[in-house]
Structure 1
């Protein structure tokens, strides 16, 4: 399985470099306190590139954590990636369908300057509801609930809920493993659970290609996704079937 993960990561990183070159580059600026890199234009396309960068970086971190047996930390990162993925699809879908809303304006305002736009944060349920209804899901309420349940599951790792945190306690007598679990089977279980995150990374890359309007990269990511789905159909679960933004001609 890790060989597949490394192949996906290599493809995502190569695709990202191509996408990165298609938006105006960041510049080094002085914000009055220090020098930092910044996008001057602050476009939705640049926002997509930043989101995808964080997603791919997070996937690399998850791969490293699992190699060291840090299964709880994978769960924490999974919630981060879940929200980044939803944000990316939220923005890309609006551009693709030309159904831009006030919530999209608010998300970008908060994204580029959260301190000045505290009142612009878009609620997670609003992001999820927009996505499920834009994809013409036959049962959007069920899809909303599935997304909420997944978010809640990941949140247990963030807050160290007993149900998940007790996976750290192994052996006879049971004791907490603080330096990465030594249970190979447990790491394998968590790796399987996280496999969908790599699939979502491919979907996110496709979404950013749509956002940037690169037909070449949209086609290449679409082809990779379809190959991945054929090869790992039994390991993947996509609520409501194939996401609407991937359908031929969509």
Structure 2
């Protein structure tokens, strides 16, 4: 996946260094948004695996929420390129490229309110494309369930935080939960996010019009799906 990000990044003019803002793409289109989201996926998956290895499964779940949203965003943007961009895509890109401050020298006084398209609308677009099959209602329910599964870890809901309380004597474990019976569940779960990332990269390859890249990623995805977690 990292090689894919470097590959597609190298196909277009690089971002320019903007004073006091860092690097920015001059053209704010879906292709460049996809690349940025793909880079986020790769980095976040690595972070999640590190957290898992050290037993920080709650923090891993929060990172996986980030991965999941980025995967959906890549799929949404890529399908917009393949099947035609809508007003929803245009609004998404406007919000995505919105700077945090009008004047970076006065951040306390120029903060911009960022737009936020409801996830339900993005999911609805995806499931109503040909890739989702003949049962969009089930597809919507499945995607919403997956999206909400990690909400408690993000927002610190009590039932999720109490997973940290265990042992003999029982107490809050704040140095990782490597010995928790829940660790294996989270280990299995990260496998799903890696697989979903690969499928999102496949769709992105289609959006970039690269059949060879699609075939390569899809072949790897199939091998990955038939392998054992490690």
**2:149 counterpart SS class:** helix
Runs of 4+ in 1 over 6 A off after TM superposition: none
1:111 corresponds, among 91, 96, 105, to: 96
Distance in 1 between the 2:159 and 2:150 partners?
12
Structure 2 match to 1:76: 62
Distance 1:35 1:119 in 2: 17
Alignment of 1:82-121 (within 5 A): 82-97=68-83, 99-113=84-98, 118=113, 120-121=115-116
User: How large is the RMSD of aligned CA atoms in angstroms?
Assistant: 2.0
Post-superposition Cα deviations, 1:83-130, rounded to whole Å, max 9, x if no partner, equal 111111001011112x32100000011111155885753211000011
Q: Any residues of structure 2 matched to 1:24-39 within 5 Å, and which?
A: 24-30=13-19, 34-39=20-25
Match of 1:127 in 2: 122
* Contact 1:93–1:131 (Cα < 8 Å) also in 2: yes
Larger fraction in helix: 1
- The answer for the alignment partner of 1:228 in structure 2 is 224
1:7 — aligned with what?
none
Q: CA deviation at 1:172?
A: 0.7
Which of the residues 56, 59, 69 maps onto 2:45?
59
What secondary structure, in the 3-state scheme, does the structure 1 residue paired with 2:134 have?
coil
Give TM-score scaled by structure 2 length. 0.87
TM-score (norm. length: structure 1): 0.80
Deviation, structure 1 residue 136 = 4.2
- Offset at 1:216? 2.3
Unaligned runs of 5+ in 2: 103-111
Maintained 8 Å contact 1:106/1:121: no
Name 2:185's counterpart in structure 1: 189
Partners of 1:166 and 1:18 in 2: CA distance: 44
SS at match of 1:194: helix
- For the residue of structure 2 that corresponds to 1:226, the secondary structure is helix
- Output the CA distance in 2 between the equivalents of 1:206 and 1:162: 38
Gaps of 5+ in 1: 1-11, 236-250
- Cα shift readout 1:21-80 (whole Å, capped 9, x = no counterpart): 1222111111xxx15111111221111000000011000000110111100001111111
Whether the aligned pair in 2 keeps the contact of 1:70 and 1:179 (CA below 8 Å) is yes
Please give the alpha-carbon distance, in whole angstroms, between the structure 1 residues aligned to 2:54 and 2:172.
15
Partner Cα separation in structure 2 for residue 41 and residue 163 of structure 1: 44
Q: Compute the displacement of 1:182 (Å).
A: 3.6
**2:107 matched residue in structure 1:** none
